[in-house]
Structure 1
Amino acid sequence: MTGNEFRALCVPATITVHDALQLLDRTAKGILLVTHEDGRLRRTLTDGDLRRAALVHVAETTPVAQLPEKPPITIGEEAGLPAAVALLDKHEIDHVPVVDKAGRPVDIVHRRELSQRIWLSSPHLGDEETAFVEDAFRSNWIAPLGPHVDGFEREVAAYVGVQHAAALSSGTAAIHLALLLLGVKPGDTVFCSSLTFVGSCNPILYCGAKPVFIDSEPGSWNMSPQALERAFEWAKRENRLPRCVILVNLYGQSADMDALLPLCERYGVPVLEDAAESLGARYKGRASGSFGRVAIFSFNGNKIITTSGGGMLVADDGDLVARARKLSTQAREPAAHYEHTEVGFNYRMSNVLAGIGRGQLRVLDQRVERRRHVFETYRRELAGLPLAWMPEPAGSRSTRWLTCFTFEGGNAAARRDGVMRALERHSIEARPVWKPMHLQPLFARAAYFAHRDGEDVAGRLFESGVCLPSGSNMSDEQLARVIDHLRRALEPAKAPE
């Protein structure tokens, strides 16, 4: 519902029964909001109210102010969706108005939206996956390993343009193994992008190593070359060069490899490319995941393609990937019995999930195009509002896994929270941009290098950023619904306090 459509539902108590009936028919929302002269909500008016008036022969010229009325059932702007649902259920009604602190109507929650939730990024399955999964069941290859695991590894490696791949249970497991492959040991230092999901850096702790977090740069939201250079200079002075750098490609977009990789090469430090969110993205013609000594992908349920849960480790070095496979299968030695000389892990992907992945991979490019279309629709329809979209630098082609924006101007965090509350009231999921790792209590003692002195880019993006529903399976109608509610939620932001 647009702002104009909502305002059309707000009527004075002087409106007649006849005109109210016509307006209810024209707006087709099932409710009108009758207001006092000062704008406060006086009552709600429904088809049922007007039918009851007709049954007692109220004249059509009668003002609705003369109809029997009860105090309106409302919720405040700060209330969430559970409060609205509770009122709808308690009073067995289909609409509940939202009022501001002065009692003026600002929104309406409709029951029909409750069963039509729009998720941030829901799994998008098609027809291709079924054949692979059925084959796994027919052949009884349902346990870890099997022909679909082998096929999925080959196909992902070919898509990315690397030589080898190992299919694993999650992206986090892939990062853990990658750190071990690169020789990370207890007490080592590992550099990592701060603006990321905790799965990027929890494995540093698994290894007993110490994370050092690197800020973002404004042009891509990815790792800042300036911050990385200062971190290397500090590490060299302290005689604690990192064992590796975890370089995260955020929200479907590659980091600035031309600026970052030479820095790592200068200090002889390998790159672990965390491409969990960026399968299908490209940087100057090369696929995301093809730049690091080792790279990883995630196939979690919210990713651009999914195996419900899973990950992939890729590298050109066959020995590294062979060792990853060994470690991921409990590090079993080649013997007739179960022989173990080192600690291993249960990190392999099952043949069934790999079958899902093979089907998903066949439509990856279509999924990318749809998500880019979703982003472009948001950008076109919300042009002119006080927000800035996540930039796409020249030479990069983002998948727009998630469409993200930041608020411009003051009071950004409060405006961010207000917009998310407004969307959630209508059963639309939105989230803040990742809370940076250097602001997480878990990593309170970790070193952090900002983009510039006094300029914490990652912190600012968190304070002002919102991630919008971006799924490739969103219908045009769902996208229009999000845009309508978002536009209404953003309108007050034109004049921040």
Structure 2
Amino acid sequence: MAAFDSRSIGDALARRAGILLFSGRGQDTPQPRQRLHLSPPHLAGGELATLSQTLSSGWIAPAGPMPAAFERAVAETTGFAHAAAVASGTAALHLAYRVLGVERGDEVWTQSLTFVATIAPAVQMGARPRFLDVAAESWTLDPNVLETQLRAAARRGRLPRAVVPVDLYGQSCDLDAILAVCGRWGVPVLCDSAEALGALYRGRPVGKGAALAAFSFNGNKIITAGGGGALVSDDPALIARARHLANQAKEVAPHYQHETTGYSYGLSSVLAAVGLAQITTLQARVAARREVFARYAAGLSGLPGLSLMPEPEWGHATRWLSVIQLDPRRFGTTPETVRRALESANIESRPVWKPLHMQPAFRGIRCHGDGLSNQLFERGLCLPSGAMSAEEQERVIAVLRSCCRG
């Protein structure tokens, strides 16, 4: 058996991270700069304590005091009366569709500019999606387009089972306007707030007022449990039903009794412990992300054809991701060229969400509106937005400025 060589393993891991360790050889070899990721996990410092508490208690499964404590923290943070902690944000959306009664052949409407998880569970249940455009002031669901489409749907006698606005990149949708429009026809609103924990809409937590809202604690989110999600509501019956389905829809009986089928969607105590330690840092993290955005705004000011994601007067975004738009004619370079330049500098960036109506999975389904979603995809670029020093962020700004040919 070969001898265990901790230095070799450490070197290999460091190379994967883009770091060259000093080994006494090749001292003149230039060191690659450490990679800047889009939104890497950020530990709060208290995770070990809550994890130790959980492991010492013997609770590992999705049961016991830690998931319950995390649910209480989520409910308090989001302003909703009830929360169910589940395995992922996608699981939360799936449960929401179930408790709202989505069935095969129903229509579910959402904005096209979003991640596929917004609509995927409904489609997998047999629902038919309808994609709507976004508003220029927020990049979220356009209430005017929604109203036009709902009015036409009412004339056809085929209203959607649910409307799902998305709080995109940490920015809230114009929820009151959406609720007012949907309320005229009795259509429930489910907020996909996966990217927006900590955002505010007219001074209240994002999603508050909708029938349900779904959040994500994936590794790239502003608060992470290493995975997981939550479904929240002010209606106790909806959350009780969601919990029941998340626990394999087991009935109260001495044997296993099932009136319907459910899912293994519970959040483990281990992940709940991580999330509980993280959630206490939310406000500081929102402030830090907004500071990152402000540094981009200052450092990129004056570049022709470059603009940043707007923030409407009714919202206070988390700036989970800082997103720019580039007009190639004025900036002198395409967003893809800029992305490649950033990658060459070991900096991760990514186009904005490819609109769902442009995805092969939804071929033939159009987007209703003026085409803004297409333009944002063609011109938009997400920049590193996590815990960065000002010096690290200057690396990003310097590449962007060097790419400008306007």
SS of 2:114's partner is: coil
Map of 1:301 onto structure 2 = 219
User: Is residue 395 of structure 1 aligned with residue 395 of structure 2?
Assistant: no
* TM-superposed deviation, 1:226: 1.7
User: Is residue 128 of structure 1 aligned with residue 27 of structure 2?
Assistant: no
Match of 1:112 among 32, 36, 42: 32
User: Is residue 477 of structure 1 aligned with residue 391 of structure 2?
Assistant: yes
Match of 1:462 among 371, 377, 393: 377
Map of 2:197 onto structure 1 = 279
Map of 2:367 onto structure 1 = 448
1:332–1:119 CA distance, 2 compared to 1 (3 A): same
Match of 1:193 among 95, 101, 111: 111
User: Normalization by structure 1: what TM-score?
Assistant: 0.75
SS of 1:429's partner is: coil
* TM-superposed deviation, 1:350: 0.3
CA contact (8 A) 1:280 1:288 kept: yes
Map of 2:22 onto structure 1 = none
Which runs of structure 2 are paired with 1:131-150 in the superposition (5 Å)?
A: 131-150=49-68
Map of 1:318 onto structure 2 = 236
Tell me the distance in 2 between the aligned counterparts of 1:402 and 1:469.
Answer: 7
CA contact (8 A) 2:175 2:207 kept: no
Map of 2:266 onto structure 1 = 348
User: Normalization by structure 2: what TM-score?
Assistant: 0.91
Tell me the distance in 2 between the aligned counterparts of 1:262 and 1:112.
Answer: 54
* TM-superposed deviation, 1:446: 2.5
* TM-superposed deviation, 1:475: 2.0
Map of 1:405 onto structure 2 = 324
Tell me the distance in 2 between the aligned counterparts of 1:345 and 1:445.
Answer: 31
CA contact (8 A) 2:303 2:331 kept: no
State, as a whole percentage, how many aligned pairs show the same letter: 48
CA contact (8 A) 1:176 1:206 kept: no
1:413–1:484 CA distance, 2 compared to 1 (3 A): closer
- AA aligned opposite 2:49: A
- AA aligned opposite 1:459: N
Map of 1:206 onto structure 2 = 124
* TM-superposed deviation, 1:445: 2.7
1:481–1:412 CA distance, 2 compared to 1 (3 A): closer
* TM-superposed deviation, 1:173: 0.6
* TM-superposed deviation, 1:230: 1.8
Cα distance per residue 1:53-93 (max 9 Å; x no partner): xxxxxxxxxxxxxxxxxxxxxxxxxxxxx9xx9xxxxxx99
Tell me the distance in 2 between the aligned counterparts of 1:313 and 1:257.
Answer: 17
Tell me the distance in 2 between the aligned counterparts of 1:331 and 1:374.
Answer: 44
Tell me the distance in 2 between the aligned counterparts of 1:236 and 1:400.
Answer: 36
* TM-superposed deviation, 1:413: 11
Cα distance per residue 1:274-327 (max 9 Å; x no partner): 100000000111101312101010000000110111000000011110110010
CA contact (8 A) 1:304 1:367 kept: yes
* TM-superposed deviation, 1:111: 4.2
Which runs of structure 2 are paired with 1:63-82 in the superposition (5 Å)?
A: none
Map of 2:7 onto structure 1 = none
1:412–1:326 CA distance, 2 compared to 1 (3 A): farther
Greater RCO structure (CA 8 Å; 6+ sep): 2
Tell me the distance in 1 between the aligned counterparts of 2:340 and 2:267.
Answer: 38
SS of 1:373's partner is: helix
Cα distance per residue 1:257-277 (max 9 Å; x no partner): 232111000111000011000
Tell me the distance in 2 between the aligned counterparts of 1:287 and 1:295.
Answer: 11
User: Is residue 152 of structure 1 aligned with residue 70 of structure 2?
Assistant: yes
1:139–1:448 CA distance, 2 compared to 1 (3 A): same
Structure 1: gaps spanning 5 or more residues: 1-81, 86-91, 96-109
Map of 2:79 onto structure 1 = 161
Cα distance per residue 1:171-202 (max 9 Å; x no partner): 01100100111110000001111110011010
CA contact (8 A) 1:211 1:447 kept: no
- AA aligned opposite 1:466: L
Map of 2:9 onto structure 1 = none
* TM-superposed deviation, 1:395: 2.1
Map of 2:345 onto structure 1 = 426
Structure 2: gaps spanning 5 or more residues: 1-15, 20-25
More divergent stretch after superposition (480-489 vs 409-418): 409-418
Map of 1:251 onto structure 2 = 169
- AA aligned opposite 2:388: M
- AA aligned opposite 1:424: E
* TM-superposed deviation, 1:412: 8.0
Tell me the distance in 2 between the aligned counterparts of 1:274 and 1:130.
Answer: 30
Tell me the distance in 1 between the aligned counterparts of 2:48 and 2:235.
Answer: 33
- AA aligned opposite 1:391: P
* TM-superposed deviation, 1:129: 1.5
Structure 1 runs of 4+ aligned residues shifted over 4 Å read 92-95, 411-414
Aligned residues: 383
More divergent stretch after superposition (224-233 vs 408-417): 408-417
Which runs of structure 2 are paired with 1:222-233 in the superposition (5 Å)?
A: 222-233=140-151
Match of 1:178 among 77, 85, 96: 96
Tell me the distance in 1 between the aligned counterparts of 2:361 and 2:330.
Answer: 27
More divergent stretch after superposition (392-401 vs 126-135): 126-135
Map of 2:184 onto structure 1 = 266
Map of 1:377 onto structure 2 = 295
1:188–1:414 CA distance, 2 compared to 1 (3 A): farther
CA contact (8 A) 1:252 1:279 kept: yes
* TM-superposed deviation, 1:411: 8.3
* TM-superposed deviation, 1:414: 6.2
Tell me the distance in 2 between the aligned counterparts of 1:444 and 1:420.
Answer: 27
CA RMSD of aligned residues (A): 2.0
CA contact (8 A) 1:412 1:463 kept: no
